[in-house]
Amino acid sequence: MKKVEDYVRSIPDFPEPGIIFRDITSVLQDPDGLSLAIDSMRDLLKDISFDVIAGTESRGFIFGVPIAYSLHKAFIPVRKAGKLPREVISQTYDLEYGSATIEMHKDSIQPGQKVVIVDDLIATGGTVEATIKMVESLGGEVVKIIFLMELAGLKGRERLAGYDVASVIRYEGN
């Protein structure tokens, strides 16, 4: 039986020499790979009590929505600035070269709700750290953070210390 990592393509020297890009489009393009990825991520939640899933744009949507649907939970989109139509809260965070801002609707999390955050990849952890800050500012409690892949060499898990973090696939390098 294949494992999820068997469906991930490793592309050397992209986007620059020395980088190995872990391409999930090959997972998405295969019905068995897609099912296995979603089922494996959902399995990371089997003993977790929670109310909603928050997924980061855009690949957190790809995995978060089917997990939320299959567990009969609400899904909260965390989007790039300027994409949501109602009143929002926002959080700016640093990137390797510059900064980015993400937003969520101000009424998307109710005080006391238990929240799971879903994304495809943890690298440095900046996007999810910003998401945590927004969830907590609305009174939510982050009870689990799940990823399909983890680039352990970039130490994103350390940035999320104190939270329950899990990934399906772990790559030791960058």
**79 contacts: CB under 8 Å, gap ≥ 6:** 57, 102, 103, 104
**Which sequence positions are flagged as catalytic?**
59, 96
Distance CA 145, CA 142 (A): 8
Q: Encoding tokens for residue 117?
A: 């955050």
- DSSP-assigned states of every residue in 21-69: EEE-HHHHTSHHHHHHHHHHHHHTTTT---SEEEEETTHHHHHHHHHHH
**Rg of the chain over all Cα atoms, to the nearest angstrom:** 16
